[in-house]
Chains A and B, each alone.
Chain A
Amino acid sequence: MGFGDLKAPSGLKVLNEFLLDRSYIEGHVPSQADVAVFEAIATPPPSDLCHALRWFNHIKSYQSQKNNLPGVKKPLGQYGPAGVADATAAIAKKAVDEDEDDDDVDLFGSDDEDDAEAARLKEERVAAYAAKKANKPALIAKSSILLDVKPWDDETDMAKLEECVRSIQMDGLVWGQSKLVPVGYGIKKLQINCVVEDDKVGTDILEEQITAFEDFVQSMDVAAFNKI
């Protein structure tokens, strides 16, 4: 969730799309959700992003009573359309990095003391950032893949073949349902589903591992590939 970087045109475009059919960020009345997003925006959206501008002007009129609006302010990453990568961690890291650069330019302090002080502060900030990152559940990209595993002939033990395929264990790989599909001449292929985390498992690795069972597997194909 989140809108991406709301200080950049890309983020404002996401906001604009989101507000096409919504009057408010959450629900049907102005709330702290609107306040949170409003405060993240630097300048009024341009007039070609008419929905974002409409919302902006409307929420601006509630500025005097913003503390009385219902709800609780959440981090920006919790609002907005699902499926947008949460950029708030990247922006926070940028802020941390910029702060660390400032530490280097210390014109007035004495060297030893401040080095230790600066080092301690840096440690603290990095730890805080790491803790923050650890708490935030990342958006994991997953796919559902349907594989066709073909045997050498009709005498291949399909039960054993399936056992071999399912014995492949990897981080980010979960085997699903399977069935035997006849392809002709008494030969059956194994059609098996799996869900993979895109970052960890690819079809080439799967192919490598499956075709390693040379006694049973003649070849493997990807029958279907869907993003979840």
Chain B
Amino acid sequence: MNMALRELSSLEKYLGLKKPNKYSTRGDKKVPLLQTNNGQPMVGLVTIACHLVKEAKRPELLGCTAEDRAVVHQWLEYRVSKLDSCSKEDSRTILKDLNLYLQDKVCMAGNHFTLADVLIYNGIHPIIVDLTFQEKEQYMNVTRWFDHIQHCAGIRHHLPPVVVLRNRIYTSKHH
């Protein structure tokens, strides 16, 4: 099963959806596809994920206020347009941007956990896994947020946990 499908299946489990959907993929990029009853297929990770959230009647996961909803969607788009299939160079820029963004935030959008946290977590996991301890300290805000999300019950189904060393080994200045 490809990563996107595994991710959707994980999301279903987190949302407590009893009946798992049957997904397929389309095209070279293996974009996930969900066939619906009315004939029109749903295409794309974000589209399907939002659909699942609505199906599970958890609209708060898409944001509680209009502002939060906009921010959530911004990050969902970011996931598929910037994060997926980014180069190693790009990944460092992404980490820098995220680190600055997360300096004064506990969650990606507003003060509550949303789908943005889930999808960015899933998307950034392969990058974080490869970071050295020193790099994890360099992007301390991302590491802090990442550790918070991976400990949230039910999120981390298909991904291995990443060890975040709590003792500050490198006491260089960082924010």
Contacts and interface: CB of A to CB of B under 8 A. Distances in A.
Interface stretch (B4-12, B14-22, B103-111): B103-111
A31 B135 CA distance: 30
Given A21-B144, A27-B151, A58-B111, 4 more contacts: A24-B148, A55-B106, A57-B104, A58-B106
Contact of B144 (A20, A29, A61, A62): A20
A73 interface: no
B140 A20 contact: yes
B175 interface: yes
A23 B104 contact: no
Interface residues of A, number: 16
Interface in B3-61: none
A57 B144 CA distance: 17
A22 interface: yes
A21 B143 contact: yes
Contact of A54 (B104, B151, B168): B104
A80 to B, nearest CB: 14
B145 interface: yes
A84 interface: no
B66 interface: no
Contact of B148 (A23, A50, A61): A23
A28 B103 CA distance: 17
B166 interface: yes
A154 to B, nearest CB: 47
Contacts of B103: 50, 54
A53 interface: yes
Nearest to B175: A50
A23 B111 contact: no
Given A28-B152, A58-B111, A23 B175 contact: no
A22 B151 CA distance: 12
Contacts of B106: 23, 54-55, 58
Interface in B109-145: 111, 140, 143-145
A53 B144 contact: no
Interface string A23-38: 1100111000000000
B164 interface: yes
Most buried by A among B105, B111, B140, B152: B111
Contact of B164 (A21, A27, A58, A62): A21
Given A20-B140, A21-B166, A54 B147 contact: no
Contacts of B147: 21, 28
15 contacts: A20-B140, A21-B143, A21-B147, A22-B144, A23-B145, A28-B147, A28-B148, A28-B151, A29-B152, A50-B103, A50-B104, A54-B103, A58-B106, A58-B111, A62-B111
Contacts of B148: 23-24, 28
Contacts of A55: 106
Interface in B89-104: 103-104
Interface string A60-91: 01100000000000000000000000000000
Nearest to B104: A54
Contacts of A54: 103-106
Nearest to B113: A29
A83 B129 CA distance: 31
Interface string B152-175: 100000000000101010000001
A54 B168 CA distance: 20
A62 to B, nearest CB: 7
B139 to A, nearest CB: 11
Interface string A77-120: 00000000000000000000000000000000000000000000
Nearest to A57: B104
Contacts of A50: 103-104, 175
